[in-house]
Each structure stands twice: as C-alpha cells, then as structure tokens.
Amino acid sequence: MTIDQSISLMTELIETSIWVGGPVLGAALVGGVLIGVLQTATQIQEQSVGFVVKAACVLLVFFMGGTALASKTVKFTRDHFDRIGDVVR
C-alpha cells in the first residue's frame, strides 16, 4: 500500500464517519440545546428530561434516515474489504 492509497483510505474513513455520525450528533446537539433553554426558562433542573429528549432525537434520526446511514456504512465496508488484496501486497 502506497502513501497515496493510505491517505485516500483515511480520507474516505473520515468522510464516512462524518456522514454517518453527523446527523445523529447534530440531532442530539439540537435536542440538548432546546431542552437546556427550556429548562433554564422554566427552572426545571431534572437531568432525565434532557436525556430522554436527546435519546428521542437520536432514535428519530435512526428511524428517518437509518437506511441511508446503514447503506453508506455497508458500502464503505464492502469497498474496503474488496481492496484487502491491494493492502496485503
């Protein structure tokens, strides 16, 4: 494996991680910020409320876009399993 191939592999890995993890983390971030503002405004400081909202946001992302996230991950994995022969040489 050359340096260019390894850089390409790492670039694809980072891109796939961002595409798969980004929506999930973004939903948790938005849910956490919204519930934080709501808790501050109402002065309700219950930690379980924030957790439940963030978990619900993450589950919503998985239900709405889970197939796209999974297909991107499976495509990345299959492409790189097919290239194992190039790495070993």
What was the pLDDT predicted at 11?
92
The answer to whether the CB of 86 falls within 8 A of the CB of 1 is yes
Residue ranges with strand state E in the chain: none
Show me where the domains of the chain are located.
Answer: 3-88
Rounded to two decimals, the pTM is: 0.73
Model confidence at 25, pLDDT cuts 50, 70, 90, reads: very high
Rounded Cα distance between 59 and 20, Å, is 14
pLDDT 10s digits, 47-85: 888 889 899 999 999 999 989 999 999 999 998 888 887
* Res. 89 pLDDT band, cuts 50 70 90: low
